[in-house]
Amino acid sequence: MAMTPAKGKAEINMTPMIDVLLVLIIIFMVITPLTPTGLRALVPQPPSPGRDNQPQRSDIVVTVGRDQVRINGERVEYALIPGRLERIFQTRGDDVIFIAADKDMEFRSIAEVIDLANGAGLRRVALLADFAIRRD
């Protein structure tokens, strides 16, 4: 008994497969977030070529050393940091604080200063990279 092929030619019906793919594409387009998520970062902009005399900025830099913390070069005890920062930023329009530390510092001590700044009401903290602390 020999097997004989069927009289018609077998073809795959592509319409249901295309329908399923279109539905999947629509589902993925809907669940994909439209706005990117992440941290907002302020990137410094280069000075415009026509402006040579830019106003002097009065940034607040907190320098974290091994056994000391300095605010713009003035030595401050850890317990006095929140009060000192509150007094500084009462009259200022901006609320950005810059934190610098040695390369070999543990981040724990830097995080403590960030927490103290948050306790003083400062929410925008910038970390200075590759900063060398002067030994006075």
**Beta strands 96-101; 124-127: pairing state:** parallel
Domains, the chain, ordered by start: 60-127 (3.30.420.270)
pLDDT single digits (tens) 18-37: 999 999 999 988 888 766 66
> Which residues, 6+ apart, have CB-to-CB distance to 134 below 8 Å?
none
pLDDT at 127: 85
The candidate with the shortest Cα–Cα distance to 124, out of 88, 90, 95, 85, is: 95
pLDDT single digits (tens) 58-83: 678 888 887 788 888 888 888 888 88
pLDDT at 52: 53
Ranges 50-59, 97-106, 111-120: which has the least confidence? 50-59
pLDDT at 24: 95
